[in-house]
Amino acid sequence: MISIALAGKPNAGKSTFYKAATMSDVDVANYPFTTIDANRGVSYVRTECPCLERDERCGNEACHDGKRYVPVELIDVAGLVPGAHEGKGLGNQFLDALTNADVIVNVVDASGGTNAEGDPVEVGSHDPIEDVNFVEEEMDLWLAGIVDRNWESIERKSRSPDFDLDDALADMLTGFGATEAEVAASLRSIDYPEDPIQWTDEHREALARDVRARTKPIVLVANKADVAPEENVARLRETGEMVIPATADGELALRKGAEAGLVDYDPGDEDFEIAGDVSDAQRTGLERIREVMAAHGGTGVQEALDRAVYELLDHVTAFPVQNETRWTDAKGNVLPDAFLLPRGSTPRDLAYAVHSDIGEGYLHAVDAKSKRRISDEYELAEGDVIKIVSTAK
């Protein structure tokens, strides 16, 4: 399962974002370090269900009238403070929690209502632009510290006649989520001495920054857009980062309202309908949320998750079936499963994602939409429905 980590300074709204996206019961409070241990839960990315191409909807519980929700892991990491890479504010512990994440969602308080340490201040008094590169910088320096602390081992290994720098660095950085190919790509993109003994702090830091950028891409969430000065959101959008204005509070209110039957809303919708009896105060609050959604195309929570997976990670959703005519599994369930795979994945990759035995016994695949057998080198596209023919049951 793809892992998405929420990071940022304390009190930026990470836990509210997490609670809204997972509907898990976590502490949310207006003071730093409400979260100490990382919270882990299941959230979803949204895509179109292939059942929209059929006469009837599939009926899968993860499909809401053609809106298909695919599970991902969401991690709420405790707030980071300046100097986190040096251990300040338990920073090393919190940064360690990001190790296995595939992508980082940096939650920034766009309202300027929290200072650099996460303490509440008057709205607009802190410049959120200062927080844009904060998480990235702390992660880069933290990884550079790990590389530096382990460099003596690299130097010792370099004395061996069969020493290979790519392999040695891959062994070191695997725990950070880097693959051999990513380490090799980083080495190709930076200048460095062939002899590890001649490497300087600058060389190690350059390696760390490049590896982090390849293995932990970052999407920026401009949270609290409902109370943020408009110029703050506009300036954040101009930073050149992938910026998603959001109101985690608004998303949480809508999801709770939907659970209670008060509103008709699916995560990621651009609007909602009031479906039950609400008080005047509730109606006023909902209308304020509607205004923010109208300005930004939604609450931003679902959009941030979707863009993290489908754009930054560049994944596609594929739907394996056993019956290519009915699009069902052996029990007759229509479009029973959805798998997220990197763009460029093949039918064989999908087979392995379903089960290693299916992958090992892979024979060929059929495009269930066209009913035609497809090449083993075919690159899966978003929404493909694939029948895998395998010797495995």
Q: Give the side-chain half-sphere CA count within 13 A for 233.
A: 19
Q: What are the DSSP calls for 116-173, one per residue? A: TTS-B--TTSS-GGGGTTHHHHHHHHHHHHHHHHTHHHHHHHTTSTT--HHHHHHHHH
- Distance from C-alpha of 315 to C-alpha of 255, rounded to nearest angstrom: 26
- Distance from C-alpha of 141 to C-alpha of 151, rounded to nearest angstrom: 15
CB 386 within 8 A of CB 365: yes
Q: What is the pLDDT of residue 33?
A: 43
pTM of the prediction? 0.91
Mean pLDDT of the region 45-62: 96
Integer-rounded Cα radius of gyration of the chain: 23
Beta strands 339-342; 315-321: pairing state: antiparallel
In the block, which residue shows the tokens 């069969």? 162
First-to-final CA distance of the chain: 23
Q: What is the pLDDT of residue 84?
A: 63
Mean pLDDT of the region 125-143: 90
Q: What is the DSSP letter of 114?
A: B
Q: What is the per-residue pLDDT across 277-322, written as a single tens digit (0 to 9) for each? A: 999 999 999 999 999 999 999 999 999 999 999 999 999 999 999 9
Which tokens in the block code for residue 225? 């857009």
Q: Is the pLDDT of residue 93 over 70?
A: no
Residue ranges and CATH numbers for the domains of the chain are 3-38+77-139+217-309 (3.40.50.300), 316-390 (3.10.20.30)
